[in-house]
Amino acid sequence: MNLISNTLASVARLLAALGATALLVSCANTPVHPPAPVSAVTPDYTYIIGAGDSVNIVVWRNPELSMSVPVRPDGKIAAPLVDELIAQGKTPIQLARDIEAVLGKYVRDPIVTVLVSGFVGPYSEQIRVIGEAANPQFLPYKLNMTLLDLMIAVGGITEFADGNAATILRTSEGNKQYSVRLQDLIRRGDVSANVDVKPGDILIIPESLF
């Protein structure tokens, strides 16, 4: 009888331990942050010039003043008759109007068009992917960009990643944090896990504990 009692007690302890483990796993798999909104499109998004971009300045009927110049690390450009002009943080149209204001001192009624290439953008607009990505990096934001686009750009996640514990830190919403399901999206093909991203988002991919 004692043997049976001891066996039953051992089984009860084992079941209790398994139940506690299951509870811990369940809690660990429960997202701490709310799920990221599926739709977060920025329809009124306008590209902002950043350091590292190249700008092609076209001055109508003044080819000698037209040229392509880089935006320096300090955010400024220099061109013929245009010295130390801030470009970072401006739209191409805003920069064109500023250049017209400077050239107006030397050229009658200048008409300027600014075309951007390179597309690095300012730091506040860049999207950063950090942690257990195959190739962590920053990316320029593009209209209608999604989580799947980010994963393709960085080559997916590593074998050590806890993809379903990943989060998006949304700087445009006061650093609000959202949970995302990278494991479901890229390894199980669950397109319902795909969500829009916004300028300035930081995707954080943690390492799995198991």
Mind listing the pLDDT tens digit for each residue in 45-58?
Answer: 999 999 999 999 99
pLDDT at residue 74 tops 50? yes
Average pLDDT over residues 121-139: 97
Contact 54, 114 (CB under 8 A): no
The mean pLDDT value of the chain amounts to 88
Q: How far is CA 195 from CA 30, 71, 179, in A?
A: 19, 32, 11
Block residue for tokens 């080559």: 155
> What is residue 30's predicted lDDT score, i.e. its pLDDT?
53
Intervals of CATH 3.10.560.10 along the chain: 126-210
The answer to whether 182 and 147 are in contact (CB under 8 A) is yes
What is 126-210's CATH number, 3.10.560.10, 3.40.50.720, 2.60.40.180, 3.40.630.10?
3.10.560.10
- Residue range(s) in the chain whose domain bears CATH number 3.30.1950.10: 54-117
Residues 121, 47: contact at Cβ < 8 Å? yes
CA proximity to 145, closest of 78, 197, 180: 197
Q: What is the mean pLDDT of residues 1-11?
A: 45
Taking each continuous run of H as one helix and of E as one strand, the counts in the chain are 4, 10
Least confident span in 5-9, 31-35, 101-105: 5-9
Range of lowest pLDDT (56-60, 117-121, 134-138, 150-154): 117-121
Position with higher pLDDT, 113 vs 118: 113
pLDDT for the residue numbered 32: 87
Of the candidates 198, 189, 165, 53, the one whose C-alpha atom is nearest the C-alpha of residue 116 is: 53
pLDDT of residue 31: 63
Length of the chain: 210
- Domain 54-117 fold: wza like fold (3.30.1950)
Whether the pLDDT of residue 1 is over 80: the answer is no
Q: What is the pLDDT of residue 19?
A: 44
The H-assigned helical ranges of 30-156 are: 92-103, 147-154
Of the candidates 156, 116, 107, 106, which has an alpha carbon nearest to the alpha carbon of residue 136? 156
Token pair of 121 as six digits: 């953008």
Q: Is residue 13 scored above 80 in pLDDT?
A: no
Residue 66 vs residues 53, 54, 69, 98, 161: alpha-carbon distances, Å: 17, 13, 10, 15, 49
- Is 60 exceeded by the pLDDT of residue 181? yes
pLDDT of residue 43: 81
Rounded distance, CA 206 to CA 132, Å?
Answer: 6
Residue 62, SS3 per DSSP:
coil
What does pTM read for this prediction?
A: 0.81
pLDDT by residue (tens digit) across 98-110? Answer: 999 999 999 999 9
